[in-house]
A and B are shown apart, each in its own frame.
Chain A
Amino acid sequence: MFADNFKISLRQIRRLFILDIFGMSSLVLPGIFSALTGADGIFCLLLGAAAGAVLLWLMGANIKHIEDDYYSYMKDTAGQIIADVFMVFYFLYFVTLSGYVVYELTALTLSWLLPEGSFAGVSIVLLLLAVYGSIRGIEGRARVYEIIFWFLGVPLLLMLIFAIPEVNTAYWTPIVGSGGPQLLRGGTSVLIFLLPFSAMLFLVPFSRKPEKMASCGRQALFVATGLNGIIYLILLGAFGQNAMGVLERPILTLMGMINLPGGFFTRQDVLMTAVWFFALFALLNTGVFQGTLIFKELCHESKHHYCLYAVAVAAFFIGKGLSEHRFLADIYEIYQRFIALPGMFLILLLLLLLYQVKAGNRRGKGAASNEEE
């Protein structure tokens, strides 16, 4: 009938990606920019977005050739073994992403909402919610984020407007003072936060219009980059480069400083944490869902939920590890920067090349057989 067809609309996909990309990047990127480049952070953002657009182009170019699903496409194009290796690569990416988001979301909760809480307690509750959110497939997940999109977006936009009086434009200068390596590093950081877009490749069977998914991704990229740009400029104008560098989550600190008209609520940081709570949860849900999807395909298992539970358990231990051992966070950053990021580009590029070669061969054989006839 209408529901239960396991297909989601372009609007749902767009909103899913906006929340996936915006949540983590708006929390973490301002701190990275202020440390690296100061006012030039905006250029890092643009550089990262441009690279993100290239990534999306590569995805779109591959999606065009996907007939059933991404795994089958990889098998047809690169062979079973290479496809399995790539699937393991994607699986590791999404599972570690889930673990990292569990860590960040739990840290956010413990810092702003529940200081007396325990890491294990909070992260288990969050993972149970993620399991519940994923258990009924893509449709339920997409619906949640379709509905809360405006509930989060409108207060955020309002708060950003109210924050404008706090901005001192003198802090926006000097610009173009950073060197190439810093800009490149900042741009790479932005690109790392755009990697969850790769979930798009696995969403082809679930999309009502797969051919328009890449364009949907570009719109999401545009919105997320725009929001991050506005947030960064407001934060930079409100705190300055040095102050922002020492704040743990500058955007949440800013939310606590804004004076609302009427002045009834004195601090909104707790209320506004909801925006990032939901946005990070969206990313957690994406990680768990995609991880499960890939795991199920690798195990040829579709009926039971064992894979989902396994991914959730893995995410818990990764999150716990990241919270307890600082070196694991450094390893995770190295993994993202030097393995996940280039890997995503290389896989897509390789698949596209192999596809073109195979298509060329097929065309050549076709022409030869025609000549013979």
Chain B
Amino acid sequence: MPIQITPDLQENITNFEELFSDSEDIKKRKIKVGKNLESECYIAYIEVAISNVDWKDSAVGKLLEKLRTLPESQLAGYVRDNYYDISDAKPFETIEDAAQAMLTGDAIFFLDGYNKAIKIPDKGYPGRGVYETESEKVIRGSNEGFSESIKLNTALIRKRLRSPHVKVRETFVGRRTNTNVDLVYIKDLIHPEILEQIEKRLQEFEIDGALDSGIIEQLTERRKYSPFPQFQTTQRPDRAAMAILEGRIVLLSDNSPVALILPTTYNTFIQTSDDYYSRWEIASFTRVLRYVASFLAMVLPGLYLAVTNFHTQILPTDLLLSLAAARQGVPFPAMVEVLIMEVAFELLREAGVRLPGANGNTIGIVGGLIIGQAAVDANIVSPIVVIVVALTALCSFAVPNEEFATAFRILKFIFIFLCGSLGFFGFLVGLLTVLIHLSHLESFGIPYLAPFVGADLNGYQDERDTFLRLPLDFLKKRPVYTRQGARTRLKFGGEETRNREGK
């Protein structure tokens, strides 16, 4: 049962402090106010969330200064009538709500004789600010990245989409963490059912804490056993803004620099921001490269095993002999050899990620060059396997999304087993299984393989932005994620305008 705030300040203080007993990081101050300093107010805040040095210049300081100029009898009336002069100030009627407001990083203000508490915003919790993204690097385009502050992240999107149609719907996840989760979208572009669905899914679970968007992602995914992510992730505000313009919804979670985008497809994972900033020829070329890379990241070691162990007739004799010569002296079967090298590579990758920046690079060099060379010299693995594993790793790095690339990394091992034991038949069985799985997979009702499948849903327009990114003139329609009737995104002036410009 929530405790109501009363005009009795002492009662409110007792109730509030009972809630925050043994919380030394929370500063609580009782301050005299009124012209004759005969009345009292109470301010509570989290130590680092409120300015200490310039306290007097802050909203809290200025309010107190004003209250010391007014007669005691007018204090409550003044606060009631003027609290909204402070940006984002908000009144609360219960102690619990007031406490919750303070925990978002603002000061909470109680006044003797006033039956509400006012939230007064200040600098909030400490955060990183806007930094360059560590992943999803682009050659052309903004380098701003999301940070851990949800407010900052929302503002970074707003900065790019200055339209009143951009909506931010707020909700809270985590019984103990009360993590702020924002759904950002353009109202007239989205399919309302998708918004309803994500809101419903967010209500479907109750967890003690959601410390990162990754937890929300896993709890709201429908196909939990699929290696393929059903949300796209990004740390780039421009990518998020672009997705919103396509009628998709961006989910931001406080304390997480990773935004979730829904719905998503295989194609969207392969796209990057600079695909649209660069000329279409190079954008198309790199995109084809990424598609091929995503495929090879999954199957290359397996195909190597299938060809060298089962179907040697495919290869020219010279190459076959040189492969056989390279394997001479290697004591392990080819499948074990590939597995050793792949596991070693995954270890190097894991070690490189966990170690601090400079050391991580060292691990890459030490692992890749020295250990690889030593393993070949010691006849533990053959040089061709090193090449195959290195190529596979390159391919997985070429996939622009880390979570998506992880799916291929895992499937790669399944393909190694299938191809190592069943040859090309194993490869076909694996490929067919992945294809069937992907064709069954959906993200919020959108087929994962769209627009390669179901392209008719948007009049085959979406196929213009798949393997090839056609010139922007051709991409006049928004993808299928946008609601019907709002799909035009590019229009040129009428014939008359064009003729005038021609003159």
A157 interfacial by beta-carbon distance below 8 Å: no
Contacts of B237 in A (CB 8 A): none
CB distance from A153 to the nearest CB of B (A): 14
- Which residues of B lie under 8 Å from residue A267 when comparing CB positions? 313-314
Task: Name which of A47-55, A129-137, A216-224 contacts chain B.
Answer: A129-137
A21 CB to nearest B CB, Å: 20
Shortest Cβ distance from A277 into B: residue? B428
Residue A338 lies at the interface, judged by CB distance under 8 Å to chain B: no
Residues in chain B near residue A268, CB distance under 8 A: 314
Indicate if A174 sits at the interface (CB-CB under 8 A).
no
Given A2-B446, A113-B423, A271-B314, A147 and B432 touching (CB < 8 A)? no
- Asked whether, in the complex, the Cβ of B193 is within 8 Å of the Cβ of A1, the reply is yes
- Min distance, Cβ B78 to any Cβ of chain A, angstroms: 53
Chain B contacts for A146, CB-based, 8 A = 452-454
The list of the 7 closest CB pairs from A to B, nearest first, reads: A1-B445, A143-B439, A143-B453, A113-B425, A140-B440, A9-B456, A114-B425
Determine the interface band of chain A, counting residues with CB < 8 A from chain B: 35 or more
Q: A3-B445, A266-B313, A266-B315 are in contact. List 14 more A-B contacts (CB 8 A).
A: A1-B191, A2-B447, A4-B442, A9-B456, A113-B425, A113-B428, A125-B429, A129-B433, A129-B436, A140-B440, A146-B454, A266-B314, A267-B313, A281-B432
Query: In the assembled complex, which residues on chain B have CB atoms less than 8 Å from the CB atom of A117?
Result: 422, 425
CB distance from B80 to the nearest CB of A (A): 48
**B494, CB-defined interface residue at 8 Å:** no
A12 part of interface (Cβ distance < 8 Å): yes
* Distance between Cα atoms of A117 and B422 in the complex (Å): 8
With an 8 A cutoff between CB atoms, is B249 at the interface? no
Contacts of B455 in A (CB 8 A): 11
Chain B residues, Cβ within 8 Å of A263: 316
- Residues of B near A270 (CB, < 8 A) are 311, 313-314, 424
CB <8 Å contact, A109 and B453: no
CA distance A87 to B391 in the complex (A): 54
A1-32 contacts to B, CB under 8 A, are 1-4, 9-12
Q: Do A129 and B429 form a contact, CB below 8 Å, given A267-B314, A270-B311, A270-B424?
A: yes
B393 at the interface (CB under 8 A from A): no
User: Contact partner of B436 among A10, A132, A208, A274, CB < 8 A?
Assistant: A132
In the complex formed, the residue of A with least CB distance to B429 is A125
Interface 1/0 per residue, A127-170 and B, CB below 8 Å = 00100110010011111101110000000000000000000000
B155 at the interface (CB under 8 A from A): no
Given A136-B440, A144-B435, A146-B452: A266 in contact with B428 (beta carbons within 8 A): no
The secondary-structure label for the interface of chain B is helix
Which among B311, B314, B435, B457 is the interface contact of A2 at CB below 8 angstroms? B457
The residue that A3 contacts in the complex, of B191, B316, B442, with Cβ under 8 A, is: B442
Number of A-B contacts (CB under 8 A): 101
With a CB–CB cut-off of 8 A, which chain B residues contact A114?
310, 422-425
Interchain CA distance A302-B458 in the complex, whole Å: 32
In the docked arrangement, what's the CA distance between A4 and B194, Å? 14
Q: How far is the CB of A43 from chain B (nearest CB, A)?
A: 35
Residues from chain A with Cβ under 8 Å of B480 in the complex: 2
| A/B interface sample: 10 pairs, CB < 8 A | A2-B457, A3-B442, A3-B454, A117-B422, A132-B436, A133-B436, A140-B436, A141-B439, A143-B454, A267-B313
Q: Which of A1, A12, A208, A277 contacts B453 (CB 8 A)?
A: A12
Residues in A with CB closer than 8 Å to B183 are none
Q: Does B449 contact A (CB under 8 A)?
A: yes
A122 CB within 8 Å of chain B:
yes
Enumerate A202-253 residues with CB–CB distance to B below 8 Å: 208
User: In the complex, what residues of B have CB within 8 A of residue A129's CB?
Assistant: 429, 432-433, 436
Q: Are A2 and B424 in contact (CB under 8 A)?
A: no
Interfacial chain A residues near B442, Cβ < 8 Å: 3-4
- Which residues from B are CB-within-8-Å of A144? 432, 435-436, 439
A residues in contact with B422, CB < 8 Å: 114, 117
The residues of A that contact B432 with a CB separation of less than 8 Å are: 129, 133, 144, 278, 281
Q: What CA separation (Å) do A139 and B450 show in the bound complex?
A: 12
Chain B residues contacting A139 (CB-CB under 8 Å) are 447
Q: Mark A73-116, 1 if CB is under 8 A from B, else 0.
A: 00000000000000000000000000000000000010001100
How many chain B residues touch the partner (CB < 8 A)? 35
A133 partner residues in chain B, CB cutoff 8 A: 432, 436
Cβ A264 vs Cβ B439 within 8 A? no
Q: Which chain B residue shows the least CB distance to A266?
A: B316
* Given A2-B445, A2-B447, A113-B424, A147:B316 Cβ within 8 A: no
Residues of B contacting A9 in the complex (Cβ-Cβ under 8 angstroms): 454, 456
Q: Chain A residue with minimal CB distance to B197? A: A1
Q: Which A residues form the contact surface with B (CB < 8 A)?
A: 1-4, 9-12, 109, 113-114, 117, 122, 125, 129, 132-133, 136, 139-144, 146-148, 208, 263-268, 270-271, 273-274, 277-278, 281
Query: Are the C-beta atoms of A132 and B433 separated by less than 8 Å?
Result: yes
Q: How far is the CA of A143 from the CA of B447 in the complex (A)?
A: 9
Closest to B456 in A: A9
Residues of B within 8 Å of A147, CB to CB, are 435, 439, 449, 452-453
Contact A274 B454 (CB under 8 A): no
- Nearest residue in B to A7 (C-beta to C-beta)? B454
Please tell me if the beta carbons of A140 and B439 are within 8 angstroms of each other in the complex: yes
Nearest CB of B to A164, in Å: 22
Q: How far is the CB of A127 from chain B (nearest CB, A)?
A: 12
Q: A9-B456, A136-B440 are in contact. Are A3 and B447 (CB under 8 A)?
A: yes
Q: For residue A9, which residue of chain B has the nearest CB? A: B456
Per-position binary interface string of chain B over residues 177-204, scored 1 when its CB falls under 8 Å from any chain A CB and 0 otherwise: 0000000000000010110000000000
- Nearest CB of chain B from residue A179's CB, rounded to whole Å: 41
Complex: how many Å from CA A114 to CA B435? 22
- Please pick, from B315, B316, B428, B449, the residue contacting A143 in the complex, using a CB distance under 8 A: B449
Query: Within 8 Å CB of B316, what residues of A?
Result: 263-266
* Distance A3 CA – B448 CA, assembled complex (angstroms): 10
Distance in angstroms between the alpha carbons of A310 and B435 in the assembled complex:
24
Complex Cα distance, B453 from A264, in Å, reads: 34
User: Which chain A residues lie closer than 8 Å to B317 at the CB level?
Assistant: 266
Chain A residues, CB < 8 A from B315: 265-266
Determine the distance from Cα of A278 to Cα of B447 in the docked complex, in whole angstroms.
21
Report Cα–Cα, A9/B454, bound state, in Å.
7
Contacts of A1 in B (CB 8 A): 191, 193-194, 444-446
B456 touches A11 (CB 8 A): yes
Cα separation A147 to B453 with both chains bound (whole Å): 6
A139 CA to B445 CA, complexed, in Å = 12
Please tell me if the beta carbons of B445 and A274 are within 8 angstroms of each other in the complex.
Answer: no
Instruction: Determine whether the beta carbon of B425 is less than 8 Å from that of A2.
Output: no
Instruction: Enumerate chain A residues within 8 angstroms of B447, measured Cβ to Cβ.
Output: 2-3, 139, 143
Q: Measured between alpha carbons, how far is A270 from B422 in the docked complex, in Å?
A: 13
Report yes or no: A4 in contact with B436, Cβ–Cβ below 8 A. no
- Measured between alpha carbons, how far is A109 from B452 in the docked complex, in Å? 28
Please, which residue of chain A has its CB at the minimum distance from the CB of B458?
A: A2
Given A3-B446, A147-B449, verify A273-B424 contact (CB < 8 Å).
yes
Q: Tell which of B316, B436, B442 has the most Cβ of chain A within 10 Å.
A: B436
**B423 / chain A contacts, CB cutoff of 8 Å:** 113-114
**Residues of chain A contacted by B435 (CB below 8 angstroms):** 144, 147-148
Using CB atoms, name the residue of chain A closest to B313.
Answer: A267
| Interchain CA distance A310-B449 in the complex, whole Å | 30
Instruction: Write the chain B residue with the least CB distance to A126.
Output: B429
CB distance from A264 to the nearest CB of B (A): 6
| CB neighbours of A136 from chain B (8 A) | 440
Q: Which residue of A lies closest to B428 (CB)?
A: A277
Interchain nearest-CB distance for B481 vs A (Å)? 9
In the complex the two chains form, what is the Cα distance from A128 to B194 in whole Å?
A: 34
Q: Which residue of A lies closest to B439 (CB)?
A: A143
User: Closest residue to B311 on the A side, CB-wise?
Assistant: A270
Q: Cβ of B313: which chain A residues have Cβ within 8 Å of it?
A: 266-267, 270
